[in-house]
Structure 1
């Protein structure tokens, strides 16, 4: 597994933000994926602050924070994503206040939308199969972006791993003979996850025909790269999946996590043991995995009500 990497955070509060990132990594022992997510959220907030003419962290106030959350909502981000980004900035500003960079914490009265607790949207097999077939057809042309898109989609669905886990993968995390991938999950816990034959073919095509065309001095051993040869980041991966899922009619499933939900639901629908799915997904609590049994029952109920004459 690679260490934490990323470009320098943009102004106007680069020094403070980099200090906070170092605190998360060294003192709080946060995972590589968690620290990358914090870095991305802070970079986005810093860019927004700069656009508003803010030149220093001390100029950030409650009105700026509220305007930032409003801009996220206008861009169509989900409540869960907005809530996560707000939590990142709250934690950052609380740390900055403790460290003496701020006299008062402007985020104390900041309210973000609560996460919705509804059942996750999943794709049916009839919705997913044409999408997988279309990515295979596009990859046959040999375009690196198409080869990468196919490999990302097949691996996310074929293994059920998180997007943060996906972008953190290195080439040697793959065991091609056993068709397994070594994943560093939440809390720096490592697990080994199997993937299927279609994902194996997609990964092999990406490695032999696509990745080599984008290799650069910053590539290292990263499994997935961008066109400039740097490790694929979470925002890029989300964009790839959201673009692909946008072409699927009749579903609200969007983003990489929808593929994780879909993989878990399809496994349980196919008769997989709940504890095996828990281990596959890397859930600490079985109760988290049990959510997907409710998804399966909900789908069964809808099918029953639509099809049974006595429903």
Structure 2
């Protein structure tokens, strides 16, 4: 490793420690920030910028322009612009640079695409099919149904579901305590079907898998440890794929669906924002567009003079 490479590596290591210890971000978020900065470092090295202190806005614009030429989506470019601004602001605060080189860097406007969602009848069909599988696969079938019910009832993220401990779920009050991005805590309610599914799992399914490695985790893998995010995604994709005519939107599709159905059922935007754990209500507002699109589609289909 050259001394020049070591300069970037040393600074990026310090930045990663900052994100982990001081900002307490999730591993997924930290990995994204660090990966974006490493991409910038590689581009900067090719341009002869061997020290982060020598970064300029021109170098970063060159990096983003190259990313655009490679066909990166506008949303990806917007996210990477944000990553660069966070990094250079830290460089200045931590004394690794005299100026904040990306302070004037403008993110390309991301094109907001409406998220795909399932209809209420589709969700019902998936949950009914998952319930039927319990007859042939009692333990994991009970677990999988509880996972689907919780994801749809609460709209929580996969990482949030995986992190649930026994005392995070209060089935008597039908609420779940969730630690979201930045370890921000929120309480999300759920309904009777989710309550029944979770209680069945905790009383009859989980005891069949529990081991010393289980700890307080709510959802377990087949070996008894805390279930991992990839397994949860596989479960959701598999259960959605088993029902003919239902789009395989994955766990995030269930989150989008939960938010859309809440708004269509009369929930106000602020409440949905709290349920989803969005920092900005602007992020939640996209679901109002989904609801409006559904209303227009229903009107065009049903009204004789549409």
Whether the TM-score (by the shorter chain) exceeds 0.5 is yes
Structure 1 position 21, deviation (Å):
6.4
| 2:231 is the counterpart of 1:239 | no
| 2:209 is the counterpart of 1:218 | no
**How has the CA–CA distance of structure 1 residues 141 and 249 changed in structure 2, closer, same or farther, with 3 Å as cutoff?**
closer
**How has the CA–CA distance of structure 1 residues 192 and 126 changed in structure 2, closer, same or farther, with 3 Å as cutoff?**
same
**How has the CA–CA distance of structure 1 residues 255 and 170 changed in structure 2, closer, same or farther, with 3 Å as cutoff?**
same
Task: Give deviations 1:75-113, integer Å, cap 9, x for gaps.
Answer: xxxx799999999x999xx9xxxxxxxxxxxxxxxxxxx
| 2:144 is the counterpart of 1:153 | no
**How has the CA–CA distance of structure 1 residues 248 and 293 changed in structure 2, closer, same or farther, with 3 Å as cutoff?**
farther
Task: Give deviations 1:34-91, integer Å, cap 9, x for gaps.
Answer: x34368889xx9xxxxxxxxxxx9xxx89xxxxxxxxxxxxxxxx799999999x999
Unaligned ranges ≥5, structure 1: 1-16, 46-56, 63-78, 95-113
Q: 1:304 aligns with which of 289, 299, 304?
A: 299
What residue number does 1:191 align with? Answer: 186
- Structure exhibiting the larger radius of gyration computed from Cα positions: 2
Count of aligned positions? 262
Superposed CA RMSD: 4.2
What residue number does 1:227 align with? Answer: 222
Q: 1:281 aligns with which of 252, 276, 285?
A: 276
Report if aligned partners of 1:142, 1:209 keep a CA contact under 8 Å in 2.
no
**Partner-residue secondary structure (3-state), 1:152:** helix
| Cα distance in 1 between the residues matched to 2:281 and 2:125 | 32
What residue number does 2:166 align with? Answer: 171
Unaligned ranges ≥5, structure 2: 1-11, 44-72, 89-108
Structure 1 position 143, deviation (Å):
2.6
What residue number does 1:24 align with? Answer: 19
Report if aligned partners of 2:23, 2:182 keep a CA contact under 8 Å in 1.
no
Report if aligned partners of 1:21, 1:38 keep a CA contact under 8 Å in 2.
no
**How has the CA–CA distance of structure 1 residues 84 and 153 changed in structure 2, closer, same or farther, with 3 Å as cutoff?**
farther
**How has the CA–CA distance of structure 1 residues 304 and 161 changed in structure 2, closer, same or farther, with 3 Å as cutoff?**
same
